Structure 1
Amino acid sequence: MKTRARRLLTKLGLLAAAGLAYAAFTAVTGVGLPCPFHAVTGLWCPGCGVSRMCLALLRLDFAEAWSWNPGLMLLLPFLAVLGLRAAVRYVRTGRAGPTRGEQIVIGLMVAFLVVYGVVRNLPGFAWLAPGQTPPELFPFLRALP
């Protein structure tokens, strides 16, 4: 169990170091990762804006993170729970694969991302493009005292 925990912490540490190195590189150079799907098709994929979303989350700027990829922001709590469950299961049993229930949740998340990828390219949903802010849903509330 201790060996698996050490292995897991090493991998998570390497992932965190790579993420921080990317954040530092982006901060210094202003160069980010372009989306190959968007470059070829001109369409926004479900992952467009994820790098900038993660950089905003590192700064704890949740509003900016939401503007880069609201679809994935909605899924982050589910991904965190799934990741935590997999980590605990791996440390305890050596098995990290998803349970049947988790497979269903993962399937629903994939379906959501497919629909999100289509919808964010439809007319009237340009606010789902990376870096956009959503329209004000209830403008009349501003007039209330």
Structure 2
Amino acid sequence: MSEGVVIRPAGPVPPVDRRVQGLAAVGVGGFVLAGVYQLTGLGIPCVLHATTGLNCPLCGSTRMAAALLRGDLNAAWHFNPVVLVLGPLAGLAIGYQLLAWALESLRVVRLPRLALSPRVTDWLTKAIIALLIVYGVARNLN
């Protein structure tokens, strides 16, 4: 497959990676949950927080997304700054992958797709997990 942009591509369209599909579903589901929380005040409680009183690295994510839906960036930052930064970065990468696939499927244009080697994917996954663990510990030191 060519690495450049191709207008009116022909031939088979490679599918979107299942991990990208899964992350997209989690992101959409998170904003649906945030919308439900915003409208009704109902959310999913954190099991770690409910049992130990400690905040996990994702605690506050629903309230953060609800604050974003209201346009309150300051409140969103205070609920969960790490997810507030990582979420849009992941959303841009996932959105680009889905857009590139959709445009190629419609035979409009073939855009280069993001492709990470297994080594880079492994390293990036471990780095994000380490960041979330450090953040989870640090936010409970107060």
Question: TM-score over 0.5 for the alignment?
Answer: yes
Runs of 4+ aligned residues of structure 1 deviating over 4 Å after TM superposition are 1-5, 18-21, 88-92, 95-98
Pair 1:27-2:66 in alignment: no
- CA drift of 1:75 comes to 1.9
Alpha-carbon separation, structure 1, partners of 2:36 and 2:121:
35
Greater helix content: 1
Give 1:107's aligned amino acid.
Answer: K
Equivalent in 64, 69, 73 of residue 58 of structure 1: 69
Could you list the runs of 5+ residues in structure 2 that have no partner in the other structure? 1-11, 105-109
Rounded to whole Å, the distance in 1 between the matches of 2:97 and 2:115 is 7
Q: CA deviation at 1:56?
A: 1.4
Quote the Cα distance in structure 1 between the aligned partners of 2:83 and 2:30: 18
Aligned-partner Cα distance in 1 for 2:56–2:135? 9
**2:84 & 2:30 partners in 1: Cα distance?**
18
Question: How many corresponding residue pairs?
Answer: 117
The answer on whether the counterparts of 1:56 and 1:62 sit within 8 Å (CA) in structure 2 is: yes
Deviation, structure 1 residue 109: 1.3
Tell me which of the two structures has the higher relative contact order, counting C-alpha pairs closer than 8 angstroms and 6 or more residues apart: 2
* Distance verdict in 2 for CA 1:69–1:77, change over 3 Å: same
**1:43 equivalenced with 2:62 (yes/no):** no
User: Under a length normalisation based on structure 1, what TM-score does the superposition of the two structures give?
Assistant: 0.59
Q: Is the 8 A contact 1:75 1:109 kept in 2?
A: no
CA RMSD after TM alignment: 3.8
Supply the distance in 2 between the matched residues of 1:24 and 1:80 (Cα, whole angstroms). Answer: 17
Instruction: Answer whether contact 2:33 2:62 (CA < 8 A) is retained.
Output: no
Task: Determine what percentage of the aligned residue pairs are the same residue.
Answer: 36
Mean Cα displacement is larger for which, 51-60 or 82-91? 82-91
Residue type of the partner of 1:72?
Answer: V
Residue of structure 2 equivalent to 1:121: 140
Report if aligned partners of 2:38, 2:66 keep a CA contact under 8 Å in 1: no
TM-score by length of 2: 0.60
Render the CA deviation track for 1:15-52: whole Å, top value 9, x for unaligned.
74x55653443234322221111001111100100111
